[in-house]
Structure 1
């Protein structure tokens, strides 16, 4: 009752203050309501799914993706290819034991329900053919090594001859040195990556021995490796959280100050995770970085409000209700304003036409929006924390000290606005120039062969490099389609265009082109055999009737499964698949340019149909990169515009919007410069983090500006206002930054996932730059610009977010 009377005696009559008084008076009910909502949302945690489907990672509205979806229903395949290489260490593969092993692997893989059986290919597959001349002028098209492996030396030599005499097999299905063989397959699009990984690693474990090594590459294997680090990622985050707790204790030096932010963080975390479960959105391990970033922001906001409560508690003479009320009325509005800028960052991801990023925008925006409860819940939690009186006494003692950190912060600020002003401006200009120059090298997509998600020494990258070095085939395939009227594939123009296209790509891209596969290979073999095995006739007939006759012969003498990879039953559609060494940003650009250059001198259409680009894994990656390039510009612009507008509305000043937003550009340039320097490309995984990180540092400047507004009427001029503001809230900015930066930095040293480690450096860098700018550039700008939004109108108490974690001297003005 005494607490309620204390609140009633406050001479504040605004509607906002009345709401704050009601929440303090009925804080058990308010807290219970929040906890009930949390419990309801928390029930969704058990529904969280950790699988991300392939179509969620790509811009399904892009023409290439629509083409791939349409033709995928005919030929199968949609970017989930995997390549298994069987290599021997001694001798070659042409012995019965090794060939039986290859045969068993092929049979096992083709029998998996998770793969397209007709797209599973090796020298032991029934779809890999050899053309043989038989007696009486008859020609047969038979499996190369199916259903049995060679049993005699003569049969073994014949297998070698058939392989090495065929350009389509030599170097592709079997290595040129005879020490390796490829098994290529395609997983269905709805297969979880953890399942694909389990199947592929089972092959590696079962068939590897002292003389046989198994290497696996492809997108399903990559994502499987990423998912295999899920537990380690959780351990890394646990270590970061423990470090964060330790930092909180070191900052507050009491349990109440440590437990309050962590308690609020637990509540909001349950809300966020529960919401993810209820929405049914797949929560990939690669999104855990974003989740931790949100968690760090939760703690950061709560730390500020907890310190403010300590300050108000000391001023109120130990009155918990009064402290709670004053903290609410001064911190709710700035808390919501700061959260709004971060929510805006997530919402801009809706501009990307990729399902995963749209899902991220929705779930993370809600999660971040829940932090707006901090201004209400944190003060209420403080009233129930044991030992809050002793904690406030310790805080009051710290305020009276002027320690080394305080002197350094004030000294740096004094130098920046005084004798070092010219040097500071010069350094700033140089830094902007260097950062802009370096960030210009930022790539869209993956700039490295293999994958940048894993370290170069990782087994996946080693296996991918080994396969690329040994074979002329890979999981990086590029498809040219043909579609026309029924039977139009018989038109010689179709196959001759396919062949010319492959030769053009090989000539234009000799360093990354590997090989191609289509029905052309079988037609050439038949033509060669019809001419007594003369290699000069290993080509497509130039006469239309001869070509039509050969194609008809091949179709009549080949099983349906073989043809299903290259043409449909009605001969309305066909495809040629080209294999390339990698999908780096530069390679994708060159592949697309070369493909379209071909059709500058060749017609896209025939009399009965047309050619269509582009399919395969390379086509999908090109689509993603084009969407990333488009979305990157829009999202970055939208984030800065949103932050600018919100800052203008917060201070009712255009100048305030510019002063708060422009320095964020520098921090962003520095972060992008690091990405370019570390060879990190903008991808589906990195773009959300890059977009969100833009607004995480604006809080620090807002703290400083709000303190300046409060101090200006009490000080003698701009310089004293800035120095006093830096002295009083500088530690708050430093401590808040360290609470997030140090735990995130640990990722680089303890994570085996390169993506997580590099994002740790990226986030720590952008937040660290914003902390430094808040204590150097912003004081300089205030003194130089002397903005009216600071000096013109005294700020009402409730919009005065005064970060209270700083020790003030005994003579510092309070308020």
Structure 2
């Protein structure tokens, strides 16, 4: 062993010996410490709550979002908001009963905690008005007549007022079949300063609005970020059901594998303790569980089981060799600690690399996953051997290990062929073909959402049906992209500014995916025409600045700020698919590059579609940076552990092939790279590297005993291969159940993780020995190998 190797391994070996002495030399005291810690963190875990935030879902440092946050107070209603539609099942909205219901729903929403009441809009709110030009000048008033009494005459007047207000297609459906209420939300409750509880807010919408006011005559539709998050949290609650099923499946499979009650229950209990510790630490550190990180506890449980299986497997082997319970546990600890610690450290640092993505919800997921891996080091590498040193694995398990017929011997002998040159070349050839296919197929992988509505939910979900209703019946869709036009103070209404904004709006009407647009220009043009007897010839931006200034008296809130230095151009898009957002962003950028100056600047972009465009850009830039960090960190740890670049290649290349094929699968299934799916590849690599580390660690120990590669690999499969195969299949069976989830992104994660778990397992069992054979090929090794088996 070289001096460098000694320097690298000495601290690790020293820590291993110290931990072994502490763990097994003071078992009762250490166990009491574990019990106290579990009770304390268990109490903390019971306090954890769902935690969702609008700001956490968007990249706060992206220029689009920075522009919005800088002017958030001046963009009333253009950030986080919901839309509630009251629809008449028979007839139209011009019925007394319908208007009574619409008023009641408006009042109900007005008093909900978290609503920005000053910006709430409905035809029943005083900030929605109509204007008309007469021979005496402009006249106007609220859309609801002041003398409204539900009579036929007042309803007819209401219809006229709606048409004069310009709200047809905005707050009233194009066919008069429904009315919309625009409800802006605060991120924090003004009364208390607490974060808006999206789950509670969504429940209030369901109970106080949908359930209370839905009837045979009226239907309620609700869209918006708060409702999406609420539905996601409610759907994610079913994770507990999938967790219970996965636990039961793992329980049965683990017993069939170990033939031991203690060898089954102890790893499961230690993995559950890891989940409890993780949740407790998250709550103690001030974190909650958002819809995306709710799946992490399951992954922590799965990772814990995979490492627990390795410990139980080594205890069985030592016990079958004649060691007593304590000695078997101690020897298993020595055998497994360095490999297990390396694997878990690789997992944890791989998850930490998600922090490079500037979206807080992904960074929170990285923290949750990393904490989970950290506690597994304690619960499954320390606590599990401690408990099993008392309980053992049972005589039946020992007898099976010592005298049982190796039913998998035929499979192991078949796999040994991949550790010989011919089999290795065949495996490598197939891998190269798969890599070529994956590279070509993954070129079709897209960034962002590929479907309309909320892609996190099923197409037939209540939310997406509501969204489809709004899109079909209103000119202004729920996908809003806001471009902010910034000027010096008191300059936003200059003729030159409005003329350029008018050209900008006309330019964007020719961009595919833009449904309509609204800005201060539309008000100025309508008022100018009104001042000239409503003649359409005058419906344009007047060159007379006095005419423009006079029109400002009729500007609705939200179309300019108080000192006239900012005016938003509100674009309504057909959808928020990745291609649509890309076209709009490119078009706005091109216009801004040509016309931005010291006097006027076109800046993107608020609105839900603007935020999604920013998110797509961040993900597009970060996905390959994240992969480089993941593979760089894992490769470095493998290099420090095995001190061989060839070994690193043997472990990493199968993982890289799986990542490439996973991207190809996403492209084929129409799954875009977005907030929900981007972490999957990092999670798959982090968990998949465990297989390679355990296989190679065992293989290397046999090679150091002087065995030829085929013989060493056969012994590796007999001792470790079964546990690796068992782990891969168990994890896959657990996550494949997610495809039945009502949450689409959870179903997508289930498909992708199942694929990665199985392929990483096969890569470790087939491609790793093939690469080891080819990269470490020696003629003398081949000659010795011909005598084996």
When normalised by structure 1's length, the TM-score is 0.88
Aligned in 2, Cα 1:109/1:515: closer, same or farther, shift over 3 Å?
Answer: farther
| C-alpha contact (below 8 Å) 1:409/1:775 kept by paired residues | no
Unaligned segments of structure 1, at least 5 residues: 1-12, 556-561, 792-811
| C-alpha contact (below 8 Å) 2:487/2:601 kept by paired residues | yes
Deviations 1:726-785 (A, max 9, x none): 344321221121221111112213x22222222112111101001111222122222222
| C-alpha contact (below 8 Å) 1:514/1:578 kept by paired residues | yes
| C-alpha contact (below 8 Å) 2:346/2:633 kept by paired residues | yes
Deviation at 1:422, TM superposition (A): 5.3
In structure 1, what is the equivalent of residue 467 of structure 2?
464
Deviation at 1:417, TM superposition (A): 4.0
In structure 2, what is the equivalent of residue 753 of structure 1?
743
Q: What SS does the aligned partner of 1:285 have?
A: coil
Unaligned segments of structure 2, at least 5 residues: 1-12, 189-195, 782-787
| C-alpha contact (below 8 Å) 1:69/1:78 kept by paired residues | no
The separation in 2 between residues aligned to 1:14 and 1:577, in whole angstroms, is: 65
Aligned in 2, Cα 1:712/1:502: closer, same or farther, shift over 3 Å?
Answer: same
2:492 aligned with 1:489: yes
The separation in 1 between residues aligned to 2:393 and 2:331, in whole angstroms, is: 20
In structure 1, what is the equivalent of residue 64 of structure 2?
64
- Counterparts of 1:78-93 in structure 2, within 5 Å, are 79-93=79-93
**For 1:307, which of 313, 330, 334 is the aligned residue?**
313
Deviation at 1:305, TM superposition (A): 0.5
| C-alpha contact (below 8 Å) 2:313/2:720 kept by paired residues | no
The separation in 2 between residues aligned to 1:758 and 1:450, in whole angstroms, is: 17
In structure 2, what is the equivalent of residue 473 of structure 1?
476
Q: What SS does the aligned partner of 1:490 have?
A: coil
Aligned in 2, Cα 1:634/1:584: closer, same or farther, shift over 3 Å?
Answer: same
2:772 aligned with 1:774: no
Aligned in 2, Cα 1:506/1:437: closer, same or farther, shift over 3 Å?
Answer: same
Aligned in 2, Cα 1:93/1:640: closer, same or farther, shift over 3 Å?
Answer: same
Aligned in 2, Cα 1:359/1:612: closer, same or farther, shift over 3 Å?
Answer: same
The separation in 2 between residues aligned to 1:420 and 1:620, in whole angstroms, is: 51
The separation in 2 between residues aligned to 1:55 and 1:716, in whole angstroms, is: 58
2:623 aligned with 1:632: yes
Deviation at 1:238, TM superposition (A): 1.4
**Segment of structure 1 superposing worse, 759-768 or 105-114:** 105-114
**Segment of structure 1 superposing worse, 641-650 or 515-524:** 515-524
Aligned in 2, Cα 1:475/1:332: closer, same or farther, shift over 3 Å?
Answer: same
In structure 1, what is the equivalent of residue 333 of structure 2?
328
In structure 1, what is the equivalent of residue 381 of structure 2?
375
Matched length: 762
| C-alpha contact (below 8 Å) 1:667/1:769 kept by paired residues | yes
- Counterparts of 1:168-187 in structure 2, within 5 Å, are 168-187=166-185
Aligned in 2, Cα 1:787/1:143: closer, same or farther, shift over 3 Å?
Answer: farther
In structure 2, what is the equivalent of residue 797 of structure 1?
none
| C-alpha contact (below 8 Å) 1:413/1:723 kept by paired residues | yes
In structure 2, what is the equivalent of residue 523 of structure 1?
524
In structure 1, what is the equivalent of residue 417 of structure 2?
414
The separation in 2 between residues aligned to 1:360 and 1:392, in whole angstroms, is: 41
2:399 aligned with 1:393: yes
Aligned in 2, Cα 1:581/1:50: closer, same or farther, shift over 3 Å?
Answer: same
Deviation at 1:613, TM superposition (A): 2.5
Deviation at 1:78, TM superposition (A): 5.8
**For 2:406, which of 381, 384, 402 is the aligned residue?**
402
Aligned in 2, Cα 1:712/1:422: closer, same or farther, shift over 3 Å?
Answer: closer
Deviation at 1:270, TM superposition (A): 2.1
Aligned in 2, Cα 1:759/1:148: closer, same or farther, shift over 3 Å?
Answer: farther
- Counterparts of 1:224-623 in structure 2, within 5 Å, are 224-317=230-323, 319-373=324-378, 374-385=380-391, 388-398=394-404, 401-403=405-407, 405-414=408-417, 417=420, 423-509=426-512, 512-551=513-552, 553-554=553-554, 562-563=556-557, 565-606=558-599, 610-623=601-614
The separation in 1 between residues aligned to 2:122 and 2:705, in whole angstroms, is: 82
Deviation at 1:297, TM superposition (A): 0.5
Aligned in 2, Cα 1:472/1:29: closer, same or farther, shift over 3 Å?
Answer: same
**Segment of structure 1 superposing worse, 110-119 or 410-419:** 410-419
The separation in 1 between residues aligned to 2:15 and 2:169, in whole angstroms, is: 79
When normalised by structure 2's length, the TM-score is 0.90
In structure 1, what is the equivalent of residue 7 of structure 2?
none
| C-alpha contact (below 8 Å) 1:252/1:395 kept by paired residues | no
| C-alpha contact (below 8 Å) 1:99/1:149 kept by paired residues | no
Aligned in 2, Cα 1:148/1:519: closer, same or farther, shift over 3 Å?
Answer: farther
Deviation at 1:348, TM superposition (A): 0.7
| C-alpha contact (below 8 Å) 1:81/1:218 kept by paired residues | yes
**Segment of structure 1 superposing worse, 144-153 or 515-524:** 144-153
Root mean square deviation of aligned Cα? 2.7
